[in-house]
Every structure is written in structure tokens, then in C-alpha cells.
């Protein structure tokens, strides 16, 4: 099992490091459209490593996906709770303006940050607070580059404060469900996947602001 986890971790870092190196070398137009592929591969690895094919885990993972998609649909069409924005093309196929990959990302981030939170504390309230904070922290790193990445575009080009508030409230709710329904995910894989995303978005921000 350790070999499989290490292989999965290696693939995660390979995709993220290769992506940032390719962008640094000037192949941005080739690598950025592959974002959806990167997310999909990471999610498939999470499914295998975290045993998400088990009925209970699969059910709640699907719930996280549906909630994420619905909240993003509200955001795209009504500007609530995140603000007014629309999605670009690099996250792939959409359902009524919302990329399927964004729902998968909500699910994936909930699962890995939930795993990190339960490793840090056993408190029933601190865990959702920490998990939600980790998700908002990653969103904070992503937001300055989303227009360059062709992920999504804010009306007026300004990131509203209620985006982060909305993220935190929804993430807290998802983590509250997670901590009461899903058995422990794989901490080692979750940590590396989270850190790989942090590495990518910090590196991309530095590259685009040199």
C-alpha cells in the first residue's frame, strides 16, 4: 500500500512541477488548457488512495460535488454568495455555465483538507474551522491569477470580500458533514496534494509578476 501511495504522490508532483516548468519555459498556451486533465488525474488518484469507491464515501463525495456545483451555479447566475463572475474555458465542459471540474474540485479540496484537519485536532468544531480555513487559504493563492489562467473572471476585475466569506461558510458546512460521515482519508497523500497545489499557484503568481 505504501508503494501505491508513494507512486500516487509522485504523479501528483510530476504533474504540478512539469506544469510550472513548462509555463516558465514559455509553453503557457499548451499547459494551461491541460488544467482540467491535471485536476481529473489528481481526483482519480484520490479515489484510489482514499478508497472513495466504498459506498458511504462515494455517497458523501457525490454530495460535496452537488453542493459545490449548486453554489457555483448560484454564483454564476445570481452573484450569490461569491459575487459576480463567469467561467473561462480552461476548466473544461460546463453545466449551465459551471464547469464540472469546479464541482470535482470542491469535493477534492473538502476531502484532503478534512484529512489534514483531523490529523491536527480531534475537536468537533476546530476541525471544520481548520478545514475551511485551509480551503479559503488556497483560494486566496489562486484568485490573483485566475484571469490569466482562464479559470474565471470577476465583474469589474475586482475580487469581492464576500467571495472569501462565501467560501468559508460553504467550506465549513461541507467540513461539518465530512467530520461526521467519512472515515479517515489518507493523510500523507492529502498533504502532498495540498502542498503541490500551493506550490503551483505561488510559483505561477511569482512568474507572472516578475
pTM of the model: 0.96
For residues 103 and 74, the answer to whether their CB atoms sit within 8 Å is: no
Write out the residue range of the structural domain in which residue 195 sits: 2-208
One-character DSSP codes across 141-197: HHGGGHHHHTSEEEGGG---HHHHHHHHHHHHHHHHHHHHHPPP--HHHHHHHHHHH
pLDDT tens string, the chain, 210 residues long: the values are 689 999 999 999 999 999 999 999 999 999 999 999 999 999 999 999 998 988 889 999 999 999 999 999 999 999 999 999 999 999 999 999 999 999 999 999 999 999 999 999 988 899 999 999 999 999 999 999 999 999 999 999 999 999 999 999 999 999 999 999 987 889 999 999 999 999 999 999 999 997
Domain count of the chain? 1
For residues 42 and 12, the answer to whether their CB atoms sit within 8 Å is: yes
Outline where 89-125 has alpha helix (H): 100-120
Residue 79 CA: distances (Å) to CA of 32, 65, 68, 84, 86: 26, 20, 15, 4, 10
- All cell numbers assigned to 149: 489562467
Amino acid at each position: 500500500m505504501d508503494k501505491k501511495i508513494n507512486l500516487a504522490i509522485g504523479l501528483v508532483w510530476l504533474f504540478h512541477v512539469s506544469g510550472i516548468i513548462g509555463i516558465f519555459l514559455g509553453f503557457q498556451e499548451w499547459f494551461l488548457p491541460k488544467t482540467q486533465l491535471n485536476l481529473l488525474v489528481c481526483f482519480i488518484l484520490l479515489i484510489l488512495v482514499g478508497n472513495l469507491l466504498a459506498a458511504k464515501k462515494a455517497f458523501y463525495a457525490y454530495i460535496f460535488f452537488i453542493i459545490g456545483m449548486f453554489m457555483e451555479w448560484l454564483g454564476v447566475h445570481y452573484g450569490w454568495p461569491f459575487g459576480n463572475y463567469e467561467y473561462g474555458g480552461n476548466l473544461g465542459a460546463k453545466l449551465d455555465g459551471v464547469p464540472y471540474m469546479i464541482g470535482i474540485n470542491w469535493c477534492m479540496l473538502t476531502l484532503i483538507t478534512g484529512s489534514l484537519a483531523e490529523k491536527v485536532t480531534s475537536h468537533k468544531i476546530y476541525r471544520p474551522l481548520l478545514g475551511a480555513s485551509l480551503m479559503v487559504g488556497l483560494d486566496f493563492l489562486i484568485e490573483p491569477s485566475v484571469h490569466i489562467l482562464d479559470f474565471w473572471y470577476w465583474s469589474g476585475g475586482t475580487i469581492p470580500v464576500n467571495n472569501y466569506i462565501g467560501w468559508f461558510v460553504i467550506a465549513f458546512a461541507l467540513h461539518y458533514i465530512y467530520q461526521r460521515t467519512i472515515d479517515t482519508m489518507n493523510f500523507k497523500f492529502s498533504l502532498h496534494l495540498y502542498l503541490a497545489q500551493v506550490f503551483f499557484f505561488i510559483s505561477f503568481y511569482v512568474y507572472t509578476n516578475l
